[in-house]
Structure 1
């Protein structure tokens, strides 16, 4: 009978007690990360007669019901808010993927004066807290006449500094010999970007898309400040009504939370293959 032996990345054998400790730590981290989501899901499926504060707590509802989700739709126009959030999030994905790819390629592959200063500028932009510039952003949107519009929600985050640096690092990992060969064959900079470099960094592009979608979909503070018309509310702002007037029923709050989180789970499930491939971007296939 063959006994499987656990080894680390360098091929060294791992003692059984070390392996057990690692699995215990992983299970603890899994419980900490996924526990609140499971609790919200369980609460959203519990009927009005079930005690959600029982001790010990129960994750499995005695009488599973979807009535709470219907009540959320009755109290607020949740699907209209979700559509507004979807429009902002998809536009944010497009602008970030296009803008970050172009800027990252320029920082990594093109030669010009001020490239180092430009890279430093993006790094410094990441160090500035959003709260420190949110008033300036609001006055800018007001002067442009974009207050209370979805464009005003989108514009400040249409290209993220972190996404630009992610794309820059991905392009830096690509071998220069491939582009040099294309240059010798007569390919211009756009052809080298679109046909050689960009297809090789699809994993990082998927990471940027996920980050951009999550950032726009989950954003609460900026849409709350810039939007005043309920017809333009995004989902996170609209769900705030459940925490205010109807805070005495946590089942509604939990159902609204699940509605807001579900698209993020679907997005990651669709792109997770490319997400994990992003770590090894730039490798040359033989």
Structure 2
């Protein structure tokens, strides 16, 4: 029996190590490539570590403020992702409160209808969404990235389920004291649902930061682009084996903010996703 357990355990460890290597080796190779000279990139075959480490690629990236202003793109992405995340937290918390604590005719029917519609591929909405953004005059503005997707049904479902684990007696006690729905939402619900809101906020931030297709469609002004749309532009500037090291360096700079966010907030990804962590009656 113990032998079987040991074999299973070591097999699982081996499988996980292989998966980790498959994931990590391309990342490590991309990072080290950003420290290679162009000559080494095109002349040396696959080599995990550079022969000569250089930082010229990063110097040239940061010095290019005209055709590829990477720092401006990073600031644009930071502003867009932060504003989008803050508004998402407000919208989904209020919406989830209505679907979980308020009683009105057709509440559940409406909720599950919208939830079902949300399963359609996002690409179906690209043309209608662009038409709306264009009609509002938001093309080439941050609003084109901030507003769409605020009321994501996945986030609303998550917060709604979390709220349903909070006893209704808390609402009733607050109403006895004269509190209305907004006071209950603000003073009672928000402190209790903070963990799940943090999770939704983290997902929203990373989703907004990594969004690629939509910003490529709604942005044509180089200075206003987020970093994902800028990276596509860099393929024309640095690609085709012209400046591979600078292209990889730009990609590495683009992932640093989300990497730091995960390192500092990873405990919320693990702990706060538990839908049963609300107060039980």
Q: CA RMSD in A?
A: 2.4
Counterpart-to-counterpart distance in 2, 1:37 and 1:78 = 20
**Structure 2 equivalent of residue 67 of structure 1:** 56
**Structure 2 equivalent of residue 262 of structure 1:** 256
Q: Is the 8 A contact 1:100 1:163 kept in 2?
A: yes
Q: CA-to-partner distance for each residue in 1:181-224, whole Å, 9 max, x for gaps?
A: 33444433223222332222222111111111112111121111
Secondary structure of 2:22's counterpart equals helix
- 17 and 264 in structure 1: CA distance in 2 versus 1, 3 angstrom threshold: same
Q: Is the 8 A contact 1:107 1:119 kept in 2?
A: yes
**Structure 2 equivalent of residue 50 of structure 1:** 40
Q: Is 2:127 the counterpart of 1:135?
A: yes
Pairwise CA distance, 1:49 = 4.2
Report 1:1-12 matches (<5 A): none
**Structure 1 equivalent of residue 24 of structure 2:** 34
Determine which structure has greater relative contact order: mean sequence separation of CA pairs < 8 Å that are 6+ residues apart, divided by chain length.
Answer: 2
Counterpart-to-counterpart distance in 1, 2:43 and 2:19 = 24
Match of 2:69 among 71, 77, 96: 77
Q: Is 2:144 the counterpart of 1:152?
A: yes
Report 1:151-230 matches (<5 A): 151-230=143-222
Which blocks of at least 5 consecutive residues in structure 1 are unaligned?
1-5, 7-12
**Structure 1 equivalent of residue 270 of structure 2:** 276
May I ask how many residue pairs the two structures share in their alignment? 274
- 14 and 117 in structure 1: CA distance in 2 versus 1, 3 angstrom threshold: farther
Pairwise CA distance, 1:122 = 3.0
**Structure 1 equivalent of residue 86 of structure 2:** 94
Q: CA-to-partner distance for each residue in 1:230-273, whole Å, 9 max, x for gaps?
A: 22111111122221132113212211111111110111122222
Pairwise CA distance, 1:34 = 3.0
Counterpart-to-counterpart distance in 2, 1:80 and 1:214 = 18
Q: Is the 8 A contact 1:72 1:78 kept in 2?
A: yes
Secondary structure of 1:58's counterpart equals coil
Q: CA-to-partner distance for each residue in 1:24-78, whole Å, 9 max, x for gaps?
A: 12212222333322221121122334347855x4333333332212222334111
**Structure 2 equivalent of residue 251 of structure 1:** 245
Secondary structure of 2:104's counterpart equals coil
What TM-score do you get using the length of structure 1 for normalisation?
0.86
Which blocks of at least 5 consecutive residues in structure 2 are unaligned?
none
- 201 and 24 in structure 1: CA distance in 2 versus 1, 3 angstrom threshold: farther
Q: Is the 8 A contact 2:41 2:245 kept in 1?
A: no
- Deviating above 6 A after TM superposition, structure 1's stretches of 4 or more consecutive aligned residues are none
What TM-score do you get using the length of structure 2 for normalisation?
0.88
Counterpart-to-counterpart distance in 2, 1:14 and 1:163 = 42
Residue range with higher mean Cα deviation, 181-190 or 253-262: 181-190
